[in-house]
Amino acid sequence: MRSEHGRVDVLINNAGITGTFAPLERATSDDVLDVLDTNLLGVMRVTNAFVPLLELSENARIVNVSSGVGSFQDTIEFDYFDWQVVPPVYAVSKTALNLLTLKYSRALPAMRVNAADPGYTRTDLNAGAGAHDVSQGTTSTSLVTYLPNRGPRPKTRSPCSPAGPSARTAPR
Ligand SMILES: NC(=O)c1ccc[n+]([C@@H]2O[C@H](COP(=O)([O-])OP(=O)(O)OC[C@H]3O[C@@H](n4cnc5c(N)ncnc54)[C@H](OP(=O)(O)O)[C@@H]3O)[C@@H](O)[C@H]2O)c1
């Protein structure tokens, strides 16, 4: 890729599996490792392999395709607790992916690193049961891929500040 294209501008980590639909208390460690291997470690392997090529771009972007089922807020607000509807191990892998995304955004400040949620999209992942088609599902990914250079970045408060440790996303 380096000899043919010289650099990489955009990396989209899209690969993901739902893995086991077992409830947490019946999931085996192999079930969990299987899901984390693709949804979390896969993202790290691919990202780390591509960082040297992304560093050659003046406008590098990394987009991790995550899911609202990994959001604490969505989980509570939309009651994603039925393991037959939302596979819990998958959900946990996406929560971990969200934090991984935040960590990469701090580790690679010259790049824009974001997560996107396609929403419930008709694909093989859900045997075509999604609520909307792929063209709608890819909107969020396109949106964060083409964020302007001064788009959202994580902003941190010092752990020593009176309000204690926290992180939130805010425009720079
Ligand atoms: N569909 C939804 O409702 C929905 C909602 C929220 C988030 N997402 C996320 O969107 C992303 C795309 O999913 P999708 O809905 O398009 O599912 P999909 O149709 O099942 O596609 C998943 C893709 O990931 C690839 N993949 C899986 N494991 C892999 C591995 N170990 N190494 C390399 N490639 C691997 C698959 O390749 P092969 O075909 O070769 O196996 C396939 O191309 C996933 O990260 C998923 O979690 C989907």
CATH number of the domain encompassing residue 135? 3.40.50.720
pLDDT at 168 (0 to 100):
46
* 113: pLDDT strictly greater than 80: yes
For ligand 1, whether the C-beta of 20 sits within 6 Å is no
With a 6 Å cutoff on the Cβ, whether 67 touches ligand 1 is yes
* Confidence band for 63, pLDDT divided at 50, 70 and 90: very high
β-partners of residue 62 are: 11, 113
Mean pLDDT (the chain, rounded): 88
Known active-site residue 104: no
Whether 118 is in the pocket of ligand 1, judged by its Cβ within 6 Å, is yes
How many whole angstroms from 17 Cα to the centroid of ligand 1? 6
Give the atom of ligand 1 at the shortest distance from the alpha carbon of 121: 3
Cα-to-centroid distance, 126 and ligand 1 (Å): 10
152-157 and 166-171 strand pairing: antiparallel
User: Do residues 102 and 81 make contact, with C-beta atoms less than 8 angstroms apart?
Assistant: no
Number of C-beta neighbours around residue 54 at 10 A: 21
| Domain that includes residue 107, residue range | 2-171
Q: How far, in Å, is the centroid of ligand 1 from the Cα of 125?
A: 6
Q: Which of 42-51, 82-91, 138-147 is most confident?
A: 42-51
Rounded CA separation 79/75 (Å): 5
Q: Higher model confidence: residue 168 or residue 106?
A: 106
| pTM for the whole structure | 0.89
pLDDT band at 166 (very low <50, low <70, confident <90, very high): very low
The pLDDT assigned to 85 comes to: 86
Number of domains in the chain: 1
Is the pLDDT score of 150 beyond 60?
Answer: yes
141 Cβ closer than 6 Å to some ligand 1 atom:
no
97-111, 114-128, 132-146: the lowest-pLDDT one: 132-146
Phi, psi of 62, rounded to the nearest 5 degrees: -125, 130
